[in-house]
Amino acid sequence: MISREPTIERLAIAQSLLLEPFGLDESHLSAALNEIRAHKVDEADLYFQYTRSEGWSLEEGIVKTGSFSIDQGVGVRAVSGEKTAFAYSDDLSNASMLDAARTVRSISSAARNARTKIATKKIAPTRSLYPELDPIATMGSTAKVELLGKVEQLARARDPRVAQVMAGLASEYDVVMVARADGTLAADVRPLVRLSVTVFAEYKGRREMGSAGGGGRFGLAYFDEAMINQYVDEAVKAALTNLESRPAPAGEMTVVLGPGWPGILLHEAIGHGLEGDFNRKGSSAFSGRIGQRVAAKGVTVLDDGTIPDRRGSLNVDDEGNASQRNVLIEDGILKAYIQDAMNARLMGVKATGNGRRESYAHVPMPRMTNTYMLAGESDPKEIVASIKRGLYATNFGGGQVDITSGKFVFSASEAYWVEKGKILYPVKGATIIGNGPDALTRVSMIGNDLRLDSGVGTCGKEGQSVPVGVGQPTLRIDGLTVGGTA
């Protein structure tokens, strides 16, 4: 059997799903783009997408709901200066695509020369970070139901205080194709799976919750017996720990963040502030600070869309640019922002492979992929032992951030009170309050235990949601404000 180069293979898959069934080929895409280029625009593209998704959920011991959907369509965009015109349709006919092209070209009335040069076809450079498979087909329906039932059985067997178990299994097969006015043609085949486990424990009239889960860009075989047991153990442990929790003390104190998912604080409080659109408009606390110290020495923050199989990774972004490993902060110095094509052009820099959109019905914007801080040299146990009086937070729930000021508020879903280097008891109701740029300067110890999250992150921005990854090592931050219930 002769296999094709991955980029060509992905293009072939995209064309078989998005063009051929509707009588389209590359000549039709060129014609639509030329309709847009009949008026003077800086950028124009067509974004085709085919998404097949499935979800199963268990509650009260039975699989109560199941869903399956297919969505497909095309988004047509023209950009002139800072202005964007956008139209989309779930009708993939040539007539509908041309109508959309004529609509968005009205963003500029300056006619081009009638002899505009036709762009030369260019296959976008890309990567091969995950398999080109449909994860829905990697496990039968009966096996999926049995998997969720096993989660229920294992969780209840862990402890008699487990009162309720909820679990969900989601799979998505996403195929995209981008055609740009400069002749670039790109495609990606993106599998995505996720298993989530939520456990409620009760004791003496008190009820607490714990959750766990994970996933990534691969098939459902990833959720083998060992992985299911790990998620169940984590969720049950969190619920039982919270049963023993006491009200959290409040005040200014040392806070130690655990590795992995607590990187969500880094993502929200710092990552969004480094996105190109906020900085171009001057609305970020990091605007105009390239080359300046914005964090303590030793703090290096990356956004990396090239990590194999990760939830936030992309072979190619939603503008046809290959994903990259972008160093944003290096040893405390701000080096770069996260860029899509439009903001990169307006700021006079290169795109960083971070142009992302929720679907064909949305415009792209600069978004994070996998954002994390590199490891340091400290032993995590020594970091916790260094706390005289403070909080050790190992898991987070929701939070809010003001991009302009950098102020953030996060709730800890699992945290412990520490005195004289000893973990005394779990606490409940702790909120961590601070300012992103200021908090980075207060980092005093960085662990050697960098960990990425298990594959559960979803980032929201301006009404659009995309899968992302976060991560960090154990981290000590001095002088953060903790709002508590004590």
Confidence of residue 486 (pLDDT cuts 50, 70, 90): low
Instruction: Please determine, for residue 475, whether its predicted confidence score (pLDDT) is greater than 90.
Output: yes
Q: How far apart are CA 464 and CA 85, in angstroms?
A: 18
Tens digits of per-residue pLDDT, 43-55?
999 999 999 999 9
Q: How far apart are CA 449 and CA 121, in angstroms?
A: 46
- Among 239, 238, 220, CA closest to 169: 220
Averaged pLDDT score across all residues of the chain: 94
DSSP sequence for 92-119: --HHHHHHHHHHHGGG---BPPTTPPPP
* pLDDT > 70 in the chain, percent: 97
Q: What pLDDT score was predicted for residue 294?
A: 95
The residue ranking higher by pLDDT, 149 or 1, is 149
Instruction: Please determine, for residue 288, whether its predicted confidence score (pLDDT) is greater than 90.
Output: yes
Return the H-helix or E-strand segment holding 431: strand 431-435
Instruction: Please determine, for residue 348, whether its predicted confidence score (pLDDT) is greater than 70.
Output: yes
Residues 373, 263 contacting (CB under 8 angstroms): yes
Q: What pLDDT score was predicted for residue 1?
A: 44
The residue ranking higher by pLDDT, 432 or 124, is 432
| Backbone torsions φ then ψ of 154, nearest 5 degrees | -65, -40
Q: What pLDDT score was predicted for residue 75?
A: 97
Q: What pLDDT score was predicted for residue 114?
A: 38
Instruction: Please determine, for residue 303, whether its predicted confidence score (pLDDT) is greater than 70.
Output: yes
**Cα-Cα end-to-end distance for the chain:** 67
Residues 188, 316 contacting (CB under 8 angstroms): yes
Enumerate the H helices of 128-224 as residue ranges.
141-158
| Backbone torsions φ then ψ of 427, nearest 5 degrees | -125, 155
Q: What is the pTM of this model?
A: 0.94
Enumerate the H helices of 302-435 as residue ranges.
341-347, 380-385
Q: What pLDDT score was predicted for residue 366?
A: 98
465 contact partners, CB below 8 Å, separation of at least 6: 358, 458, 459
Angle made by CA atoms 166, 155, 62, in degrees to the nearest 5? 40
Tokens of 410: 């996060």
Q: How far apart are CA 11 and CA 20, in angstroms?
A: 12
Confidence of residue 69 (pLDDT cuts 50, 70, 90): very high
Confidence of residue 115 (pLDDT cuts 50, 70, 90): very low
Q: What pLDDT score was predicted for residue 4?
A: 67
1 contact partners, CB below 8 Å, separation of at least 6: none
Q: What pLDDT score was predicted for residue 117?
A: 53
Q: How far apart are CA 355 and CA 342, in angstroms?
A: 9
Of the given ranges (120-134, 299-313, 404-418), which has the lowest mean pLDDT? 120-134
371 contact partners, CB below 8 Å, separation of at least 6: 263, 266, 267, 271, 301, 302, 303, 304, 312, 468, 469, 470, 471
Q: What pLDDT score was predicted for residue 121?
A: 77
Mean per-residue pLDDT for 239-254?
Answer: 95
Tens digits of per-residue pLDDT, 131-185?
999 999 999 999 999 999 999 999 999 999 999 999 999 999 999 999 999 999 9
Q: What pLDDT score was predicted for residue 112?
A: 45
- Among 191, 196, 220, 258, CA closest to 454: 196
Tens digits of per-residue pLDDT, 71-101?
999 999 999 999 999 999 999 999 999 999 9
Tokens of 154: 């294992």
Q: What pLDDT score was predicted for residue 111?
A: 47
Q: What pLDDT score was predicted for residue 110?
A: 53
Instruction: Please determine, for residue 116, whether its predicted confidence score (pLDDT) is greater than 50.
Output: no
Q: Residue 397 carries which side chain, given as an amino acid letter?
A: G
How many residues can be counted in the chain? 486
